Amino acid sequence: MKMTLTAIVAGALSILALIIFIMVFLPYAQQDTTPSNIWRDRTQVEAAGRKIYIANGCVYCHSQSIRAIDWGFGGERIAQAGDYVGDEPILLGSARTGVDLSQEGGEHPDDWHVAHFVNPRYTRPSSIMPPFKWLGIKEILTLTQYVQSLGFKQADIRMKRQRHWKRQAIEAYEAGPDVNARWLAEQVPEGWRNIPNPYPTTPAGLQRGHKIYQEFCLGCHGPIGDGMGPAQPWIYPPPLNFTILKGREISGGIIYYQLMNGITGTAMPYFKRELESQKIWEVGDYVAVYFINQSDANTDPRGIDAAWEPYLEFEPE
Amino acid sequence: MASTANEQAPSYPTAIAFCLTSTIWFAAATSFGMIAAGYLFAPDFLANIGWLHFGKARPIHVNLVLFGFVTPGLLAAGFYMIPKLLRTELFSEKLGVFTAVLWNVTMLCAIVGIGAGYSQGREYAELPWTVDLMIVVLFVLVIFNILMTIRQRKESILYVSVWYITAAVVLTGTTYGIGNVIWKPDTGALLGIPDAILLWFYGHNIFGLLLTPMGLAVAYYVLPIATRSPLYSHTLSLIGFWSLIVVYTHIGTHHLLQVPVPTYLKVIAIVDSVAMVIPVMVVLINLWFTVKGKWAEIHQDIGAKFVFAGTIYYFFVNIQGSMMSLPVVQRVTHFNNWVVGHAHIGVLGFAGVTALGGIYFLLPRITGKPIYSRFLADLQYWLVLIGITGFAIVLTIVGLIQGQAWINGETIYRVLPQIQPYYIARASLGITIMLGAYIGAYNIIRSIFFNPGATAK
Ligand code: HEM
Ligand code: HEM
């Protein structure tokens, strides 16, 4: 074959044209623009927040695209083409240096996001997200509105839930520590309230609990558990001061349940995805021993002793 | 031009201008890469500098690397090779130098645009509309200059390198405008899923229809000349060229295998990504058989040494790429640093190293003197090679850690402390690459402007 200029230019361009037709134009012409069942339009503020998201390259660390194999945030719902019908540009993202944000709306209340944007280390001590304090509070609030809309109608339901519980949490907090501590404990289902921490306090367990506390809790509850972590100025009701819990019969079960499930409406996140059972019991015991100064670890009722517990003198026989 | 006084030795001012452009932006781009890498293990470093945080340093890094360092570097070689191969002069050196100057202005605008927050938010297409227009203009100028040079040629046969360069600039000139949705200045994007399809069609063509053919053009030119061997096979050249254009253009959807796009697109993308073995191996067999047994010659010419190293990375990046297109593999590798490793092997290891090779090959031939310091060039060679190989290893390990952890249900947050040491290692390796870039800049500038003549060996 003789390669002439015409052969090269015309040949390459016609191959390109054919392939653009098949690989780009056909899918474009045949696209289904029906919105998915959760889709809704964005409000003006949300659209403005999306612009800030684009301008600041959030997309290089955050995908908005849930796959069938995902577990994390939003893992309950696999992405559908109809979720993106209003997105120009589409922000699928190609890296998850941070988490997927498809269903971020309503995972946390607004105050959590504000503290997180000011400096992600405040709410998430080992985060590597850059701080956005320099954006200024007005822009941060706009951005928060956008983030809270991710997930569309599902996000709206979660936001409604956040607002509902936020009112109650603030009311309880403002009524003073007695009421607040009682209110918090009463939200935990009866059964859980009566369960002590089933595992004994051990030096190793406390060490591990300490490490988890530093990686997950420090920014809010503070190094000494008084609720004065760096996130505190941005969070309302403020992070709990654990020392007020002394003498209020806060069982291991209450702490476990609150950690697992979070306290919706307050900045207190749920940890069921991040921490397995043992880790929750151990960080709970760490809080109980060091900050509340009162632990019910390994008291009755206990059930059958766990197989691995070396600290028990096994007597029956 | 002043140098036309000296009749017998044309001085290729356009090629020189593009060499300088490439080498300066290489240094700048790696500096931005270092900033991005720093943020990933010390996120509060440089905190609150609004135009420089990770979300901006990263796209500035990537755009400078692609359009500031690699493309001009390969074009420099192009503006030298084309007149040489066609036994003529460049159609207009004035236009060429003007293009290079405008190129630098465009890169400055790119930094300012992204830094000031005018990014369009689409990976590899983030440059704001005005900069997009400037880039299209640049490509039009380059295409015009090259086509006119071909028309005035005195050599009737067009060598492989000419095919690749012509196809690369013509096809990229076309896809750039389409991929950036240049007819929609406000968003520069389509609506919904088709936007993702178009974006990755275009994004992949930046590697497939710009960097790869330009890089191969340099390899096809440098390797036979450096080893004084005829090209192994004309037929293989033909197969390699046409199969590249046919196959590479199909595979953009392998970036979207886990996204709700039409299934037939995914099937085509997977099949053709595996079929990429053909254009790749055909070309490599052709090149490697050409230089077979000529190691001494390759070692002697620092340009050829870079280019040959580039072909090896080309082999690895493509084998890796074909693997990553298999859905079972991509479940683990997608969304994490494995892909970043692949990107650096491809864009730096293959295209970037080849561009450096082209520059080092043409400089002594244009200036008529050896490069300023062969020692510094060798030093740069090893710094870049160690850096990129280290990147490949470290980023692949991190990618596997992340991918395997996620698939087991670990949250992203929990894995962060585990990967921090690797981020530190990657930044340290980045320092070697950045040093290489600065040393190279010094060496190349000295070779052009303040070259005493004899080598400083
Ligand atoms: C046989 C050839 C190749 C194949 C099949 C291939 C395949 C792939 C795949 C599947 C991805 C997406 C990974 C993911 O998101 O999960 C990818 C990404 C990438 N490839 Fe390749 N690749 C090939 C050659 C190259 C070459 C030669 C270059 C550079 C010159 C290159 C540069 C890139 C870059 C920069 C990315 C990152 C895109 C992003 O930002 O997500 N690839 N490649
Ligand atoms: C000083 C040396 C360098 C450092 C420290 C560095 C660092 C980085 C960092 C931190 C990222 C972002 C990755 C992420 O999002 O996790 C990145 C992306 C990228 N870099 Fe570099 N880089 C360097 C040199 C280069 C060079 C010389 C090239 C090409 C010639 C290059 C090409 C790319 C590309 C194509 C991407 C996009 C990857 C993707 O989207 O998957 N880098 N680099």
Which residue range forms the structural domain that includes residue B298? 13-449
In a domain, B55, yes or no: yes
In a domain, A216, yes or no: yes
Same domain, A143 and A93: yes
Give the pLDDT band of residue A310 (cuts 50, 70, 90).
Answer: low
Q: Taking 90 as the threshold, does the pLDDT of residue A278 lie above it? A: yes
- Which residue, chain included where needed, has tokens 């996001």? A113
Q: B343 C-alpha to center of ligand 1: Å?
A: 6
Interface probe, candidates A90, A127, A211, A218, chain B, greatest B C-beta count within 10 A: A90
Q: What is the mean pLDDT of residues A148-172?
A: 97
Task: Identify all chain A residues contacting B261, using CB atoms and an 8 Å cutoff.
Answer: 27, 81
First to last CA, chain B: 32
A130 in reach of chain B (CB within 8 A): yes
Same domain, A144 and A182: no
Same domain, A195 and A277: yes
Nearest to B190 among A30, A57, A88 (CB): A88
pLDDT at A317: 61
Q: What is the mean pLDDT of residues B100-121?
A: 96
Q: From CA B368, how far away is CA B448, in angstroms rounded?
A: 10
Same domain, A59 and A126: yes
Query: Do the Cβ atoms of B192 and A128 come within 8 Å?
Result: no
Average pLDDT across chain B, whole number: 94
Contact B104, B112 (CB under 8 A): no
Task: Identify all chain B residues contacting A152, using CB atoms and an 8 Å cutoff.
Answer: none
- pLDDT, tens digit, for every residue of A54-73? 999 999 999 999 999 998 77
Contact B223, B232 (CB under 8 A): no
Token code pair at residue B355:
């561009």
Q: Taking 50 as the threshold, does the pLDDT of residue B4 lie above it? A: no
In a domain, A264, yes or no: yes
Query: Do the Cβ atoms of A12 and B201 come within 8 Å?
Result: no
pLDDT at B1: 37
Token code pair at residue A151:
């997930």
Same domain, A122 and A183: no
Q: What is the mean pLDDT of residues A271-291?
A: 95
> Each residue of A268-301: b (16+ CB within 10 Å) or e?
bbbbebbbeeebbbbbbbbbbbbbbeebbbbeee
In a domain, A30, yes or no: no
DSSP bridge pairs for B335:
A95
pLDDT at A311: 59
In a domain, A28, yes or no: no
Q: From CA B247, how far away is CA A87, in angstroms rounded?
A: 30
- pLDDT, tens digit, for every residue of B406-440? 999 999 999 999 999 999 999 999 999 999 999 99
Task: Identify all chain A residues contacting B167, using CB atoms and an 8 Å cutoff.
Answer: 8-9, 12
Strand extents, DSSP E, B193-346: none
Q: What is the mean pLDDT of residues A203-222?
A: 96
Same domain, A218 and A252: yes
Q: How far is B190 from chain A (nearest CA, A)?
A: 6
Give the pLDDT band of residue A312 (cuts 50, 70, 90).
Answer: low
Looking up residue A251, the CATH number of its domain turns out to be 1.10.760.10
Q: B330 C-alpha to center of ligand 1: Å?
A: 12
Q: What is the dihedral of CA A250, A254, A259, A260, to 10 degrees?
A: 170
Give the pLDDT band of residue B457 (cuts 50, 70, 90).
Answer: very low
In a domain, A165, yes or no: no
Same domain, A194 and A140: no
Phi, psi of A95 (to 5 degrees): -145, 150
In a domain, B64, yes or no: yes
Q: Using alpha carbons, select from A119, A204, A216 the residue that is nearest to residue B417.
A: A216
In a domain, B456, yes or no: no
Same domain, A209 and A120: no
Q: Using alpha carbons, select from B285, B209, B197 the residue that is nearest to residue B240.
A: B285
Q: What is the mean pLDDT of residues A151-168?
A: 96
In a domain, B1, yes or no: no
Count how many domains chain A has.
Answer: 2
- pLDDT, tens digit, for every residue of A89-146? 999 999 999 999 999 999 999 999 999 999 999 999 999 999 999 999 999 999 999 9
In a domain, A19, yes or no: no
Q: Taking 80 as the threshold, does the pLDDT of residue A280 lie above it? A: yes
Ligand sitting nearest the alpha carbon of B32: 2
In a domain, A225, yes or no: yes
In a domain, A237, yes or no: yes
Q: From CA B385, how far away is CA B241, in angstroms rounded?
A: 28
Same domain, A127 and A67: yes
- Which residue, chain included where needed, has tokens 């992070």? A239
Same domain, A185 and A128: no
Q: From CA B222, how far away is CA B224, in angstroms rounded?
A: 6
Query: Do the Cβ atoms of B259 and A87 come within 8 Å?
Result: no
Count how many domains chain B has.
Answer: 1
In a domain, B2, yes or no: no
Q: From CA A147, how far away is CA A104, in angstroms rounded?
A: 6
pLDDT at B3: 41
pLDDT at B5: 41
Give the pLDDT band of residue B9 (cuts 50, 70, 90).
Answer: low
Q: Taking 90 as the threshold, does the pLDDT of residue B112 lie above it? A: yes
In a domain, B8, yes or no: no
Task: Identify all chain B residues contacting A219, using CB atoms and an 8 Å cutoff.
Answer: none
Q: From CA A134, how far away is CA A130, in angstroms rounded?
A: 11
Contact A51, A39 (CB under 8 A): no
Looking up residue B288, the CATH number of its domain turns out to be 1.20.210.10
Q: Is B330 near ligand 1, meaning CB less than 6 Å away? A: yes
Which residue range forms the structural domain that includes residue A288? 176-292
Interface probe, candidates A58, A76, A88, chain B, greatest B C-beta count within 10 A: A88
